[in-house]
Amino acid sequence: MVAMDATPLLGVRTGVGQSVAGFMSAVATDPDLDVIGYGLSATAGRFLPERLPTSARAGRRIPIPAGALLRAWAHTDHPTVEVWTGPVDVVHGTNFVVPPSRKAARLVTVHDLTPVRFPELCSPTSLHYPGLIRRAIQAGASIHTVSQSMADDVMDHFHIEGSRVHVIHNGLTPLPPPRPREELEPPYILAIGTVEPRKGLPDLVAAFDRIADSIPDIRLKIAGPPGWGEEALAATVRSARHGDRIRRIGWSDDRSSLIAGARLLAYPSLYEGFGLPPLEAMSLGVPVVATTAGAIPEVVGDAAVLVAPRDIPALAEALLVVAQDATTRERLIALGTERIRLFSWQRAGQQLALLYRALADARG
């Protein structure tokens, strides 16, 4: 019996939410695994059951605020996961935090180490994660990462042996076919994701401002839920010479059409533990310009144009080339079509199920 933190399935599906949804759906199809989804928030019990895969079941409704739980687990081993789930063999903290357990083997997914590498780019909540991860490791927990790059960071920072760190990549959830475009609109460069400092969106605005005169018909769309980088982004747009050609939009209900309609996807992150939007763009035949931050090169391979983080002139040049050169776009689209075949949720689910069994056996 496996308990998985399903809290990221609530609310707007960010990258972590998509990752957890993919892993949970894939694992829950294993007929030999009984999967229980638990939620770490005061309201999770009310809304979680409808968000779970049909083959998973919800844990008990325990209305404890997440902040109170994080403060408790920083110093004590209570409450244990069994409060939500009853006895389980493995508990998987899918989002940086794994609850204490009376008997279960513990696994915690570390999506990235932004709180360690770039604490100034973090929300107050995420600054608690490194201490909670370290405490879990000291108590015997194993680590799951979605890239080798993050595994290397985890081993280096926490001084944990490689045998306790397990790399299982995210898969790619197929997006629905985009709707036919009913009207012509100006071409646009698209950025997509939560607006937070590590996404490098002010750099993208500055790069776009450099090339806007050279391609006067193109626009920039920045799509995604608001975050703690919203004010800095808005200030950069206000100061841009071509700010009137930059549109900040929310999380589109028709993600496929939004991506498919773009001339290219820009992914200017300062640090990434994986990076799903570039793969989504590739799956819809949209070329990608991204940075060499974190795990991005590991994920995109040679199927994207890569520049160094915070190198605004290089980013501007890459955007200009891909936006204007049809041959470059065709080459990237072809490479992207091949690249996405490497990322399968079915394979990821099988690997994770094997890991659960190995952890449970080792625990005895």
- CA dihedral 217→218→223→229, nearest 10 degrees, is -110
pLDDT of residue 44 exceeding 70: yes
Kind and range of the H or E element at 22? helix 15-28
Angle at 259 between CA 325 and CA 331, to 5 degrees: 30
Kind and range of the H or E element at 146? none
The values of phi and psi at residue 333, to 5°, are -65, -45
- Average pLDDT on 40-65 reads 86
Residue percentage of the chain with pLDDT more than 90: 80
Q: What is the pLDDT of residue 11?
A: 79
Angle at 357 between CA 56 and CA 85, to 5 degrees: 40
**Tens-place pLDDT, residues 191-202:** 998 898 899 999
**Tens-place pLDDT, residues 146-176:** 999 999 999 999 999 999 999 999 999 999 9
Instruction: Give just the sign of the alpha carbon dihedral 23, 26, 28, 32.
Output: negative
Asked if residue 219 lies in contact with residue 244, where contact means CB atoms within 8 angstroms, the answer is no
DSSP 175: P
Asked if residue 167 lies in contact with residue 147, where contact means CB atoms within 8 angstroms, the answer is yes
- Average pLDDT on 68-88 reads 94
DSSP 41: S
DSSP 364: -
Q: Which CATH architecture has domain 188-342?
A: 3-Layer(aba) Sandwich (3.40)
Residue percentage of the chain with pLDDT more than 70: 99
Q: Which of 173-182, 198-207, 265-274, 315-324 has the lowest mean pLDDT?
A: 173-182
Closest CA to 225 of 217, 237, 233, 216: 233
CATH of domain 2-171+344-363: 3.40.50.2000
Kind and range of the H or E element at 306? strand 305-307
DSSP symbols for 179-213: PPPSS----EEEEES---GGG-HHHHHHHHHHHTT
Sequence-distant (6+) residues with CB within 8 A of 335 are 301, 302, 303
Provide the pairing of β-strand 264-267 with 35-38.
unpaired
Q: What is the pLDDT of residue 183?
A: 67
Q: Helical H runs in 215-344?
A: 230-239, 255-260, 276-283, 296-300, 312-324, 326-339
Confidence of residue 282 (pLDDT cuts 50, 70, 90): very high
CATH 3.40.50.2000 domain range(s) in the chain: 2-171+344-363, 188-342
pLDDT of residue 182 exceeding 70: no
Q: Which of 122-126, 170-174, 274-278, 353-357 has the lowest mean pLDDT?
A: 122-126
For helices 312-324 and 326-339, give the axis angle rounded to 10 degrees: 100
**For the range 282-285, what are the long-range contacts, defined as Cβ-Cβ under 8 Å and sequence gap of 24 or more?**
282/333, 282/336, 282/337, 282/339, 282/340, 283/172, 283/174, 283/175, 283/336, 283/340, 284/175, 284/178, 284/256, 284/259, 284/260, 285/260, 285/333, 285/336, 285/337
- Average pLDDT on 125-144 reads 95
Separation CA 138–CA 132 (nearest Å): 10
> Which residue is associated with the tokens 């607006």?
195
- Average pLDDT on 51-56 reads 90
Length of the chain: 364
Confidence of residue 337 (pLDDT cuts 50, 70, 90): very high
